[in-house]
A and B are shown apart, each in its own frame.
Chain A
């Protein structure tokens, strides 16, 4: 094989557009934000350099930041495993039991993922309305509860609604990823197991789950990264007039909501940028830990 010489310019030219665009509109704003995070600035008046004051405030005095971190992590810790398990089960069932109708079910369960988060926020706000929402109407009609539940008015029910929302929104995406993963598992493995008389449940736990481990790593890490960005849905879910930011007791105020509030509502670009960096540090840490746990000894990836 006549490989191009390592000094050839071609590959560099091919990757050049990516790196130019990334430096211009990805890295530069990030570094610029880092700089801004060391200042006190509202975006238009004179900028004052304040050193690490924003970070001192963030990490040592800002209880709201920690609460937001806790809220975000809590919602994620509940929602992510649920949507992974549900997505995995659904994918495995669709693959083994459905043939002609698989595409239809795939699309239906993917619908929530393609629905605009803005719509989901408003939709759930109406469905879970205390006085007149469909959910309470149904629960009352069936007789599961005697009095309507104040879903969006108490901290824990509000969190539960957000978890439900995220699971509903995300499991279809997980399902699709797992379906893709399943199609790479050699069919012989299943056939061999069947000859040995293994039931579906056995093959699921003995073949499917272990073989999908790299996919798990993928959905878990991307799930964490995306989970920490949570903003649209809770922002719109609790947009009513008498509503505190992030719902009752700020129970579902996420870090990005805190960031948005600081940077773009309270006119503190500097502090907002510091919150974003605080979040970055946390994400980095969590992803690292998650990858360690799931990967334990396996070396997948590139």
Chain B
């Protein structure tokens, strides 16, 4: 009996202590500095370095990050806004969720006084991506852009060369890519694939087009917008040049280190976070080219400031430092390999220039900055149904992936059915 008594006493004491400790723990740090709360999925040492650099320039501010995964951001924001507390000063808005989050009237226009974030300094193609339909400029982002990475030894064996320029010349279009893929498949007895996953093929096809999937608010436009994308996927599937791995599944990730898949979509952030991580011993094994079909945006995360945030001025000060100053751009570049949205940096070609031995000494920064970023214009605009569209694409690609002999029309019907079923206000095209 006494043992149990002690147990309950401990329970009670612990409970009482931590129930009320919630608020206390945060005020324990330096009382004078204003804490900017950022909801982000990256709290790596590298991003902390940027935050520390900011605090050295602006000692009155410190930055506290809360880890919120991109797919949880909406729900966490919803709860925070509904409960009216703990709303972050800056929330990261990932590309997939951008459309629905930007459709909400919850964001401060930081380009307006008193914040005066200068839109004119921003790379022009980004601005419409960061603006709501009602014209609110939500916030900046690092431009996220993609090309195509390849495994040099495989390229040498099956394409006859591992030289980026020659490979790019060999693959001027996706049709050329498919034709080449068939030869590779044959030469390797069906063992070597051009791509590891149909979802990778989807990234290229989808990001290289810009026709809206939904027009006039709620009318589906899949016949025009999705058909060419799906056609490319169906062609690749029928040619047999794409393996059946699922998107970013652990087994696809493992394929980066194998020698049966040649090409991968590669954003500037993929270099560190996907390729090097999944093929840690692959230095010198990789090459990079502009993808057939040209440069394309890939990913992208807007930094939004909620209207009800408590430290909006401080938040915008940080955003200006990080996204509109040369010092911030250097940190982005050197700590994380990110590009700055500051337009003026691209006027000279020396700011982004760094060779990477991992990619056989290619100057990846320069290629990304000059051959890709500078050539992107008019990407597809965010739409409030982006997630549903995304989900419908996943459905279609998953069906196609399992070898079913589906036509483009079948896939479009599948997507439309799914979309209309989930959102009755959507109208078939």
- Residues of A43-74 whose CB lies within 8 A of B: 43-45, 57, 61-64, 67
- Asked if B247 and A241 make an inter-chain contact with CB atoms under 8 angstroms apart, the answer reads yes
- Asked if B402 and A242 make an inter-chain contact with CB atoms under 8 angstroms apart, the answer reads no
- Residues of B244-267 whose CB lies within 8 A of A: 245-251, 254
Q: Which residues of chain B are near A62, meaning CB under 8 Å? A: 421, 424
Min CB gap B224→A, angstroms:
23
Given A131-B245, A153-B401, A242-B398: A266 touches B100 (CB 8 Å cut-off): yes
A240 within 8 A of B: yes
A30 to B235 alpha-carbon distance, docked (Å) = 53
A150 within 8 A of B: yes
Chain B 412-429, CB within 8 Å of chain A: the 1/0 string?
A: 000000101110100000
Min CB gap B424→A, angstroms:
4
B395 within 8 A of A: yes
Min CB gap B190→A, angstroms:
14
- Minimal Cβ-Cβ distance residue in A for B100: A266
B199 within 8 A of A: yes
A267 within 8 A of B: yes
Q: Which residues of chain A are near B186, meaning CB under 8 Å? A: none
Binds A, one of B75-83, B147-155, B211-219, B311-319: B75-83
A198 within 8 A of B: no
- Minimal Cβ-Cβ distance residue in B for A242: B247
- Minimal Cβ-Cβ distance residue in A for B74: A265
B374 within 8 A of A: no
Residues of A within 8 A of B (CB): 42-45, 57, 61-64, 67, 129-132, 150, 153-154, 240-245, 248-250, 264-267, 269
- Asked if A131 and B249 make an inter-chain contact with CB atoms under 8 angstroms apart, the answer reads yes
A126 to B245 alpha-carbon distance, docked (Å) = 15
Q: Name the residue in A42, A63, A240, A244 with the highest tally of chain B Cβ atoms < 10 Å from its Cβ.
A: A244
Report which of B75, B81, B199, B250 forms a contact with A242, defined as CB distance below 8 A: B199
A265 to B249 alpha-carbon distance, docked (Å) = 24
Q: Which residues of chain B are near A43, meaning CB under 8 Å? A: 78, 81-82
- Asked if A264 and B105 make an inter-chain contact with CB atoms under 8 angstroms apart, the answer reads no
Residue contacts A-B, CB under 8 angstroms, 23 given: A43-B78, A43-B81, A44-B106, A61-B424, A63-B424, A67-B421, A131-B249, A132-B254, A150-B402, A153-B398, A153-B401, A154-B402, A240-B247, A240-B248, A242-B197, A242-B248, A242-B397, A243-B246, A244-B418, A245-B391, A250-B418, A266-B100, A267-B100
A42 to B247 alpha-carbon distance, docked (Å) = 32
Given A153-B246, A242-B247: A63 touches B391 (CB 8 Å cut-off): no
Report which of A44, A67, A250, A266 forms a contact with B81, defined as CB distance below 8 A: A44
A261 to B398 alpha-carbon distance, docked (Å) = 21
B84 within 8 A of A: yes
Given A61-B424, A62-B424: A240 touches B249 (CB 8 Å cut-off): yes
Min CB gap A71→B, angstroms:
13
B7 within 8 A of A: no
- Asked if B421 and A64 make an inter-chain contact with CB atoms under 8 angstroms apart, the answer reads yes
A158 to B11 alpha-carbon distance, docked (Å) = 42
B363 within 8 A of A: no
Q: Name the residue in A67, A129, A264 with the highest tally of chain B Cβ atoms < 10 Å from its Cβ.
A: A264
- Asked if A248 and B422 make an inter-chain contact with CB atoms under 8 angstroms apart, the answer reads no
- Asked if B395 and A249 make an inter-chain contact with CB atoms under 8 angstroms apart, the answer reads yes
- Number of B residues near A (Cβ < 8 Å) is 36
Name the prevailing secondary structure of the A interface residues. loop
- Asked if A267 and B104 make an inter-chain contact with CB atoms under 8 angstroms apart, the answer reads yes
Report which of B82, B105, B246 forms a contact with A240, defined as CB distance below 8 A: B246
A243 to B250 alpha-carbon distance, docked (Å) = 13
Min CB gap B83→A, angstroms:
8
Report which of B106, B398, B402, B422 forms a contact with A64, defined as CB distance below 8 A: B422
Beyond contacts A248-B399, A265-B74: 5 other A-B pairs, Cβ-Cβ < 8 A, are A44-B308, A153-B246, A153-B401, A244-B398, A266-B100
Q: Which residues of chain B are near A265, meaning CB under 8 Å? A: 74-75, 78
Q: Which residues of chain B are near A249, meaning CB under 8 Å? A: 395, 399
Q: Name the residue in B79, B84, B398, B399 with the highest tally of chain A Cβ atoms < 10 Å from its Cβ.
A: B398
B394 within 8 A of A: yes
- Asked if A132 and B398 make an inter-chain contact with CB atoms under 8 angstroms apart, the answer reads no
- Asked if B421 and A63 make an inter-chain contact with CB atoms under 8 angstroms apart, the answer reads yes
Q: Which residues of chain A are near B392, meaning CB under 8 Å? A: 244
- Minimal Cβ-Cβ distance residue in A for B80: A44
- Minimal Cβ-Cβ distance residue in A for B422: A64
Given A64-B421, A67-B421, A131-B251: A242 touches B74 (CB 8 Å cut-off): no
Q: Which A-B residue pairs are the 5 nearest by beta carbons? A: A242-B247, A43-B82, A131-B251, A61-B424, A63-B421
Chain B 372-404, CB within 8 Å of chain A: the 1/0 string?
A: 000000000000000000011011011101100
Q: Which residues of chain B are near A243, meaning CB under 8 Å? A: 246, 394, 398
A193 to B199 alpha-carbon distance, docked (Å) = 65
- Minimal Cβ-Cβ distance residue in B for A266: B100
A44 to B308 alpha-carbon distance, docked (Å) = 11
- Asked if B250 and A132 make an inter-chain contact with CB atoms under 8 angstroms apart, the answer reads yes
Chain B 82-123, CB within 8 Å of chain A: the 1/0 string?
A: 101000000000000000100011100000000000000000
Q: Which residues of chain A are near B105, meaning CB under 8 Å? A: 45
- Minimal Cβ-Cβ distance residue in A for B106: A44
Q: Which residues of chain A are near B424, meaning CB under 8 Å? A: 57, 61-63
Q: Which residues of chain A are near B399, meaning CB under 8 Å? A: 248-249
- Minimal Cβ-Cβ distance residue in A for B105: A45
Report which of A44, A131, A132, A242 forms a contact with B82, defined as CB distance below 8 A: A44
Q: Which residues of chain B are near A266, meaning CB under 8 Å? A: 100
- Asked if B249 and A129 make an inter-chain contact with CB atoms under 8 angstroms apart, the answer reads yes
Q: Which residues of chain B are near A153, meaning CB under 8 Å? A: 246, 398, 401-402
A67 to B395 alpha-carbon distance, docked (Å) = 15
Q: Which residues of chain B are near A130, meaning CB under 8 Å? A: 246, 251
A173 to B30 alpha-carbon distance, docked (Å) = 51
- Minimal Cβ-Cβ distance residue in A for B83: A43
- Asked if B394 and A244 make an inter-chain contact with CB atoms under 8 angstroms apart, the answer reads yes
A154 to B104 alpha-carbon distance, docked (Å) = 35
Min CB gap A134→B, angstroms:
13
Min CB gap A239→B, angstroms:
8
Min CB gap A35→B, angstroms:
15
Min CB gap A256→B, angstroms:
14
